[in-house]
Amino acid sequence: MDNIVGIFPTIDVAAYHVDADRPQSLSASLGKCLVPNRLFTTTPLHCWNDASRLNPNWKPTNSKTFDIGNTMHELTLGKGHGLVVLDFDNFTTKAAREARDAAYADRKTPVLRDMYERALEAKAVSDRLLDACPWGHPFRNGEPEAALRWVEKTKWGDVRCKALVDWLPNNRPLERGIDFKSTGASANPEWWEKRQLFNLGYDISAAFHRRGYKALGLAHSCDYLWVIQEWNAPYACSIVGYADEELNKADDDVQTMIDVFAKCLHTNDWPGYDMEPWMAKRPKWLDSRQRISGDGHLSSEDIAMGL
């Protein structure tokens, strides 16, 4: 897969994440921190730190949350890092931790037996609910975990881009991109839109994927869908859609991400935060709290001031 442009439906998921490219390729998960004025915005230095081909001390991030999500993901889509089911109650014993770490070393997902059984229950629920969708089960007639690779041209030089899309439908041109998200919180679509979609930059990922679809001739335009499932019983599901015209609004953010990455990559300069002092200001809510009268109510004067 090294330095090749195209569609790769049979790529090994673990190999995809351990980037073999030189120079470093750009994915949405790597570059989102470069998008300005978002909750997840950091600096190019953070991007460099998370880049497997740039940071000589880079190591993959493993966590219980990732493991649960990867397990749900793999059982739902039928492809992933590969699951290693461990017959332990928890990871408090030395033997359990050694088995978990051995799975990590083999680039696989360790999962305790109880969690695995619950994930199977969740899959049964999602299949039943998604089979009842009026336009059919979204994860049928397509390829799971398909890799896309394309090149973006910038004034600083080429940027090799890649995306691992959860589901690549067989129909052409694509009508929609589809992702699966599991959560330990709520799959309530209104809550997920307000607390997850934009706060975690899923709109950026969707617009970046759409850019890959267009570059590779898979779509002229397309909507985006997220299938969301809770990983605790009753394993409720929902579907959140994002129209093509809404994705257009994220295009400028994606272009900024590509341009900043290109400049840093080709100049080998990955700056952190501005070291000029940030001049803090006292927030208005502190003053309004102090004006609350002894009976716990704002005075009529403060109410008139809009406090």
- One-letter amino acid at 43 equals T
CB 45 within 8 A of CB 271: yes
Q: Which tens digit of pLDDT belongs to each residue from 229-243?
A: 999 999 999 999 999
- The whole-number pLDDT of residue 304 equals 52
Residues 6+ apart with CB under 8 A from 290: none
CB 81 within 8 A of CB 55: no
> How far is C-alpha 87 from the chain's CA centre?
30
Q: Which tens digit of pLDDT belongs to each residue from 24-46?
A: 899 999 999 999 989 889 999 99
CATH number for the domain whose boundaries are 6-267: 3.90.320.10
Nearest Cα residue to 249 out of 173, 285, 198, 302:
198
Residue 277 pLDDT grade (very low, low, confident, very high; cuts 50, 70, 90): very high
> Percent of the chain at pLDDT above 90?
72
CA torsion through residues 279, 285, 286, 287, sign: positive
Q: Which tens digit of pLDDT belongs to each residue from 186-235?
A: 999 999 999 999 999 999 999 999 999 999 999 988 899 999 999 999 99
Residues 6+ apart with CB under 8 A from 168: 7, 9, 142, 143, 144, 146, 174, 218
Tell whether the model's pLDDT for residue 300 goes beyond 90: no
Nearest Cα residue to 27 out of 266, 263, 264, 254:
254
Nearest Cα residue to 147 out of 170, 125, 167:
167
CB 298 within 8 A of CB 292: yes
Nearest Cα residue to 158 out of 2, 53, 22:
22
Global pTM?
A: 0.87
> How far is C-alpha 102 from the chain's CA centre?
26
Residue ranges covered by each domain of the chain: 6-267, 280-307
Q: Tell me what the pLDDT averaged over the chain comes to.
A: 89
CA dist., res. 261 & res. 151, Å (int)? 13
Q: Is 43 helix (H, G, I), strand (E, B) or coil?
A: coil
CB 250 within 8 A of CB 204: yes
CB hemisphere CA count around 56 (13 angstroms): 0
- The whole-number pLDDT of residue 57 equals 93
- One-letter amino acid at 30 equals L
CA dist., res. 193 & res. 199, Å (int)? 9
CA distances from 236 to 103, 121, 156 (A): 29, 11, 47
Residue 1 pLDDT grade (very low, low, confident, very high; cuts 50, 70, 90): very low
Q: Which tens digit of pLDDT belongs to each residue from 141-181?
A: 999 999 999 999 999 999 999 999 999 999 889 989 999 99
DSSP alpha helix (H) spans, 147-221: 189-192, 202-215
Tell whether the model's pLDDT for residue 22 goes beyond 70: no
- One-letter amino acid at 189 equals P
Nearest Cα residue to 152 out of 31, 12, 298, 287:
31
The continuous run of DSSP H or E covering 229 comes out as strand 223-230
Q: Which tens digit of pLDDT belongs to each residue from 5-20?
A: 899 988 888 778 766 6
